[in-house]
Chains A and B, each alone.
Chain A
Amino acid sequence: MKVLVNRIAQEVAAGSSLQDLLQALDFKAPYAVARNLNFVPRGQYAATPLQEGDQIEVISPITGG
């Protein structure tokens, strides 16, 4: 199935969790994650199953004003 990660389409196996996805795409800490505009706490990645068309955001610290 397809999901969007930071607006880029990614193919993942059915039944994958958010944790599977984050490991497969090799994101580097520190980061935080939202799924379909809702925050997903770090401890819930493994228990968050992905659905077709999910929009995942993975964001990291950057300079700001």
Chain B
Amino acid sequence: MSKPSPADPLILYGQAFGSRLLLGTSRYPSPRVMQQALRIAQPAMVTASLRRQGAVSAEASKNFWELLKEADIPVLPNTAGCHSPQEVITTSQMAREVFGTDWIKLELIGDDYTLQPDTLQLVQVADTLLKDGFKVLPYCTEDLVLCKRLVDVGCQAVMPWAAPIGTGKGPINPYAMRILRERLEVPMIIDAGLGLPSHACQVMEWGYDAVLLNTAVATATDPVAMADAFAKAVQAGRGAFLGGAMSEQQAAQPSTPVLGTPFWHQT
């Protein structure tokens, strides 16, 4: 379990986390590299999934399970690949039993090409899961009204994408993302679409509470170095948000005092 920072913890459903970075566990070159990346980034949670035994060997699954236990980081199971509310609900219940956790990253896919969430059914499914006792972190778009409705049914945090999963494009709709941040007070985690530490830093500067990454770290040339860079970028962005940025100006203003400038008006 990661140790909460007393100074500035991330609070989700009343639980304090000492990190504002959540990491996925897929696509690393090896389990060992993933372990090293987790060790250096110290994420608040790690995501995991469920697949048919047989399609995935029981041994591979067991090894991953042991690795998760060894990492001792809270697990956030996802419902990746679910296309119907019933699939999401059943997968969530199975995940709760297997992983022994009420946390669920709600993914309900509405379009296979973009992996865009099914925004028209997401709220109802979130409501059902919340009533079943889950701590729901819904993967959603940056649509303000969708996020408001998710909060209305009881989601204590939402997870808008920055761009489609795995694209690494960074925030593709900055205007909507900044408005969304201004309009909602619940913790918001940027989930999906980040490619660079500067993207993570940017959204944290805007006031987002955390970021969830996978591909950007796992498919980097050196995932361990990239995990470290993202962890630092998240901290830098958070620090900048708390520090309060200056207002942008149109005209130049000297930072060095003008009064007493040598040779002023002499020539």
- Rounded to whole Å, the gap between the CB of B158 and the closest CB of chain A is 18
Q: With A30-B98, A34-B90, A39-B94 in contact, do A65 and B50 touch (Cβ < 8 Å)? A: no
CB of A9 closer than 8 Å to a CB of B: no
- A30: which B residues are within 8 A, CB to CB? 61-62, 65, 98
- B 63-104 binary contact with A (CB < 8 Å = 1; else 0): 011001000000001101000001101110111011100000
- B86: which A residues are within 8 A, CB to CB? 37
- Rounded to whole Å, the gap between the CB of A55 and the closest CB of chain B is 12
Contact A61 B94, beta carbon cutoff 8 Å: no
Contact A32 B78, beta carbon cutoff 8 Å: no
Q: With A27-B53, A57-B52 in contact, do A62 and B64 touch (Cβ < 8 Å)? A: yes
User: CB within 8 Å of A: which of B18-76?
Assistant: 24-28, 34, 47-56, 58, 60-62, 64-65, 68
CB of A60 closer than 8 Å to a CB of B: yes
CA distance A27 to B233 in the complex (A): 43
Interchain CB contact (< 8 A) of A58 among B52, B77, B80: B52
- A58: which B residues are within 8 A, CB to CB? 52-54
For the residues of A in contact with B, the DSSP-based class is strand
CA distance A27 to B89 in the complex (A): 23
Contact A64 B53, beta carbon cutoff 8 Å: no
Q: With A65-B78, A65-B215 in contact, do A60 and B56 touch (Cβ < 8 Å)? A: yes
Contact B64 A61, beta carbon cutoff 8 Å: yes
Give the size category of B's interface with A: 35 or more
Contact B26 A64, beta carbon cutoff 8 Å: yes
CA distance A11 to B230 in the complex (A): 51
CA distance A58 to B55 in the complex (A): 10
CB of B186 closer than 8 Å to a CB of A: no
Interchain CB contact (< 8 A) of A60 among B24, B87, B91, B98: B98
CA distance A60 to B99 in the complex (A): 10
CB of B16 closer than 8 Å to a CB of A: no
CA distance A42 to B96 in the complex (A): 11
CB of B214 closer than 8 Å to a CB of A: yes
With both beta carbons as reference points, the residue of chain A lying nearest to B166 in the complex is identified as A65
With both beta carbons as reference points, the residue of chain A lying nearest to B51 in the complex is identified as A62
CB of B130 closer than 8 Å to a CB of A: no
Q: With A30-B98, A31-B98 in contact, do A64 and B90 touch (Cβ < 8 Å)? A: no
CB of B165 closer than 8 Å to a CB of A: yes
- B28: which A residues are within 8 A, CB to CB? 63
- Rounded to whole Å, the gap between the CB of B222 and the closest CB of chain A is 19
- Rounded to whole Å, the gap between the CB of A16 and the closest CB of chain B is 19
Contact A61 B50, beta carbon cutoff 8 Å: yes
With both beta carbons as reference points, the residue of chain A lying nearest to B89 in the complex is identified as A39
CB of A8 closer than 8 Å to a CB of B: yes
Name A's B-contacting residues (CB within 8 A). 6-8, 27-28, 30-34, 37-39, 41-42, 57-65
8 A-B residue pairs with Cβ-Cβ distance under 8 Å, sorted by A, are A6-B54, A27-B53, A32-B97, A39-B94, A60-B61, A61-B99, A65-B166, A65-B215
Q: A32-B97, A39-B90, A65-B26 are in contact. List 12 more A-B contacts (CB 8 A).
A: A6-B54, A28-B58, A32-B95, A33-B94, A39-B93, A58-B53, A60-B65, A60-B98, A62-B56, A64-B25, A65-B25, A65-B215
